[in-house]
Amino acid sequence: HDLLTKQSLSGIPLLILGNKIDKSEALSKPALVDQLGLESIKDREVCCYMISCKDSVNIDVVIDWLIKHSKTAN
C-alpha cells in the first residue's frame, strides 16, 4: 500500500493477479481481495483476476486489460 500513497502514481489503475489457481492451496478471489484490503482503495480503478499460466486461465483477459490501460508514447 506504500506505493498507493505516492502522488506521482495518483489515479493510476491497479491490476492484482492471483496466480497458481490450479493449486489446491490457492486463495480464492474474495480471500485475496480481503487480505489485500482492495475494497478500501477508492482513488483509482482496482481490478483483480485469478490466473493460471499453467492452464492458461484468464491470461487473455489480463493481456486485454493491459492493452486497454497502457499509455501510448507520443
Binding positions for GTP are 19-22
Question: SS3 for 66?
Answer: helix
The vertex-37 CA angle with 70 and 47, nearest 5°, equals 25
CA torsion sign, 40 to 43 to 68 to 66?
negative
**Residues marked as binding?**
19-22
